[in-house]
Structure 1
């Protein structure tokens, strides 16, 4: 019988890290991932670049995983922390290391890991996958969750398949559990965790309320060939129509303040063509620039929503399934890893019957306010980036603040996950 202590939907960083935490605590874990192939060019540099903050770095370091990440050892961090250099940004407004007063933060041990590092999504997922597999996690790809039913009274669920975990089955019989349909198969477990992203099937099937704000813009990330690159200015360029930026020649990022309409159309099946990208780039840049070839492109928005509760009975949410926001500032990965680190040991103790009363409920109590704070951080950046008179006025004020010692210290502490 396909019986486990925990089923996790989604094999992204949050799901993989959480699976490793649970397996380390002697829980049987199944990951169901809808994508058959974990590889994607969007997970590779430069699209797949992510910033790890201090809590994430420390969590990886404690588990012996940080040394397995190679990218930060060979790639120069543009926010390197060298004095006089850019240390990070808020809404594209840079703050410099020379302005940061690190004495205001709790002192760190001399051998403590860094406060911020670059990571590549593909490499991080590979490291977390190796750990999960080594600990006995069952990862099944190409199986999308399409049905969920939970019971709290120890009810039996029919299942089929080659795997059986007798200990997990006994625990499910005693306490109830969840039945999950995926790819024509039926699995059962004591608990189900949705780590299946912004459009989470588990969140919808589990009856969670997802509240928040609608988008102001459509974001574009694309690899293109530009016939006349001299027509585009260097760096991050803000215009009355939006923003464009080339992180490397041909790697294009844009923000079009259309209320998210283009992203919605793309999600509904409208193709993202070379002509469409060229039209948007010409309008935002105010030039006649020509895109001669499109290699890959995706859209995203600043839609910001959060589940009002991270738990409904034996179903829990973590990562983007629990909260979504724009990728501005690179907080999403760290927020998901933080969810997993908080939930893993608490759920394991609950499964083994060693948890004190209310321990599992503290997951929502502790992580929900942190998620809400990150969503507001994202919304604030959008307000500062709006190509309106009000947005430009805010931007000018924030530039003045960021260039002060108090301001740079505050923004660095928020971006790096340290300080207040």
Structure 2
């Protein structure tokens, strides 16, 4: 084998997955057709589960530095003054911003997030730079300028073609975006809904009449200006663009901006630009034999609400430790069945979350009437907090067959008896058994790292490598959870 696992695509999903595998001693090669990292404007924020994933791998300081720089730039663009970081500044739903003054940060869903709960305003380029440096430290080989042209898969291995050369690998994971070559060549079903709109996002140089800052609804569509200088976004309904592959021109952007804003604006330079649609599709399964999908290769949708980057990182964190356990012979292949079972419902929710936003962004009278009703609801604390919880991802839960409210959720970042935080004990990518004063006798002799803390309501926590609680006491059997997820027992 040239590598235990070959990952196609060096975006957030591919890099995060490569790091998760390398952390556990699995040999991994990343193939990326682009010569250099893509600097096209993409996602502008991350949610709480993504920040927690970085914290659990020791990468939180980089996020904090990036957010501080972004908040300073945003404050300057907005005319000065302090800017609250997410989730207190919790983004928007269909272009309707959530007010920090109507956000209940005492809601239990936000409890126990630790310092990761204060991070959100970090863009995709910054995420990719942090992940790129991390995988380099772990010794991952990222082959840029190398395109996968085909592959054949058997029950024992996958043979990958890369422009006249073959490489042999145990597993192939497509993290190669919405038009994934891996997904298409493997024949994954990809059902969903077609596009209704054409949208542009760009960073440009403007002259003439400056558009109003923020998000705005007009008779012809929706546009946004900010949160940094020159950043524009326009949304026009009428189907997908005729050509999605040619470079976006200044004239194309200017025409769309004029149609939507009605402003006498001129674009004199384009620093970064992309067009997109609301095409919403999801692979029926994320695995076929030794071929798997993660990130946009497994699901596509409009970027409204900033879920795509976060969904990709979540896929990678969920899959990484499971695939590593199978590669190393520590788990049977059926552990990988839980990857689709756990992540597919989250992806389906995101697709519907974005579809709901599209439905009330349309310019027809019925959609605008519903938009007005939702806008009224956002004037309340309950509704603003509900939307903030959904956008920030703190409500996500996997069905692990337990009724305990913590099982299947992200573990709280408890401060333990020695003053350390729970997340700090997950940097090595292992699971963790936390003794809070009530573990069964002999449980601390199992092969997992065990640490101690104090909590009056919990006997202990069994935390998977992805930070998900697998056991939290009650009537659930710790031994069953240990055997299910780690192949060991107390």
TM-score (norm 1): 0.86
Q: In terms of mean alpha carbon deviation, does 196-205 or 49-58 score higher?
A: 49-58
Distance 1:82 1:233, change over 3 A: closer
- 2-side partners of 1:252 and 1:103: how far apart? 34
- 1-side partners of 2:111 and 2:178: how far apart? 35
Equivalent of 1:222 in 202, 205, 213: 202
- 1-side partners of 2:85 and 2:294: how far apart? 35
Does residue 238 of the first structure (1) align with residue 214 of the second (2)?
Answer: no
Q: Using the TM superposition, give the Cα deviation of residue 49 of structure 1 relative to its aligned residue in structure 2, in angstroms.
A: 5.3
8 Å CA contact 1:222–1:296 kept in 2: the answer is: yes
8 Å CA contact 2:209–2:263 kept in 1: the answer is: no
Distance 1:105 1:295, change over 3 A: same
Q: Using the TM superposition, give the Cα deviation of residue 401 of structure 1 relative to its aligned residue in structure 2, in angstroms.
A: 1.4
Q: Using the TM superposition, give the Cα deviation of residue 111 of structure 1 relative to its aligned residue in structure 2, in angstroms.
A: 4.4
8 Å CA contact 2:60–2:116 kept in 1: the answer is: no
Q: Using the TM superposition, give the Cα deviation of residue 274 of structure 1 relative to its aligned residue in structure 2, in angstroms.
A: 2.8
SS of match in other structure, 1:117: coil
8 Å CA contact 2:90–2:392 kept in 1: the answer is: no
8 Å CA contact 2:45–2:124 kept in 1: the answer is: no
- 2-side partners of 1:110 and 1:366: how far apart? 21
Distance 1:331 1:107, change over 3 A: closer
Equivalent of 2:152 in 134, 149, 166: 149
Equivalent of 1:64 in 44, 58, 76: 58
Q: Using the TM superposition, give the Cα deviation of residue 18 of structure 1 relative to its aligned residue in structure 2, in angstroms.
A: 0.5
Q: Using the TM superposition, give the Cα deviation of residue 135 of structure 1 relative to its aligned residue in structure 2, in angstroms.
A: 1.8
Q: Using the TM superposition, give the Cα deviation of residue 288 of structure 1 relative to its aligned residue in structure 2, in angstroms.
A: 4.1
Does residue 191 of the first structure (1) align with residue 167 of the second (2)?
Answer: no
Cα deviation 1:305-353 (Å, max 9, x = unaligned):
1101100110000000000111111111110110011001111111122
User: What corresponds to 2:382 in structure 1?
Assistant: 406
- 2-side partners of 1:102 and 1:290: how far apart? 42
Q: Using the TM superposition, give the Cα deviation of residue 113 of structure 1 relative to its aligned residue in structure 2, in angstroms.
A: 2.4
Equivalent of 1:52 in 46, 56, 64: 46
Give matches, 1:79-158, under 5 Å.
Answer: 80-81=83-84, 86-106=89-109, 108-109=111-112, 111-152=114-155
Cα deviation 1:96-149 (Å, max 9, x = unaligned):
233233443246348442254211322221221222122221211101111010
Equivalent of 1:180 in 141, 150, 160: 160
Distance 1:306 1:225, change over 3 A: same
Give matches, 1:312-331, under 5 Å.
Answer: 312-331=288-307
Distance 1:186 1:204, change over 3 A: same
Q: Using the TM superposition, give the Cα deviation of residue 244 of structure 1 relative to its aligned residue in structure 2, in angstroms.
A: 2.0
- 1-side partners of 2:337 and 2:43: how far apart? 33
Equivalent of 1:73 in 64, 68, 92: 68
Does residue 253 of the first structure (1) align with residue 253 of the second (2)?
Answer: no
- 1-side partners of 2:317 and 2:263: how far apart? 47
- 2-side partners of 1:315 and 1:192: how far apart? 5
Distance 1:325 1:57, change over 3 A: same
Distance 1:227 1:59, change over 3 A: closer
- 2-side partners of 1:110 and 1:318: how far apart? 25
Q: Using the TM superposition, give the Cα deviation of residue 296 of structure 1 relative to its aligned residue in structure 2, in angstroms.
A: 3.9
SS of match in other structure, 1:199: coil
TM-score (norm 2): 0.74
- 1-side partners of 2:384 and 2:129: how far apart? 34
SS of match in other structure, 2:243: helix
Long gaps (5+) in structure 2: 75-81, 397-490
User: What corresponds to 1:6 in structure 2?
Assistant: 5
Does residue 209 of the first structure (1) align with residue 153 of the second (2)?
Answer: no
Distance 1:249 1:375, change over 3 A: same
Cα deviation 1:23-47 (Å, max 9, x = unaligned):
111111010000011152x2xxxx3
8 Å CA contact 2:216–2:223 kept in 1: the answer is: yes
8 Å CA contact 2:110–2:117 kept in 1: the answer is: no
SS of match in other structure, 2:91: strand
Q: Using the TM superposition, give the Cα deviation of residue 250 of structure 1 relative to its aligned residue in structure 2, in angstroms.
A: 3.1
Distance 1:98 1:191, change over 3 A: same
Q: In the comparison of the two structures, how many residue pairs are matched?
A: 385
Say which structure, 1 or 2, has more relative contact order (CA 8 Å, 6+ apart): 1
Root mean square deviation of aligned Cα: 2.2
User: What corresponds to 1:161 in structure 2?
Assistant: none
Does residue 266 of the first structure (1) align with residue 244 of the second (2)?
Answer: yes
Equivalent of 2:280 in 264, 280, 304: 304
Does residue 22 of the first structure (1) align with residue 21 of the second (2)?
Answer: yes
Q: Using the TM superposition, give the Cα deviation of residue 292 of structure 1 relative to its aligned residue in structure 2, in angstroms.
A: 3.7
User: What corresponds to 1:167 in structure 2?
Assistant: none
- 1-side partners of 2:43 and 2:110: how far apart? 29
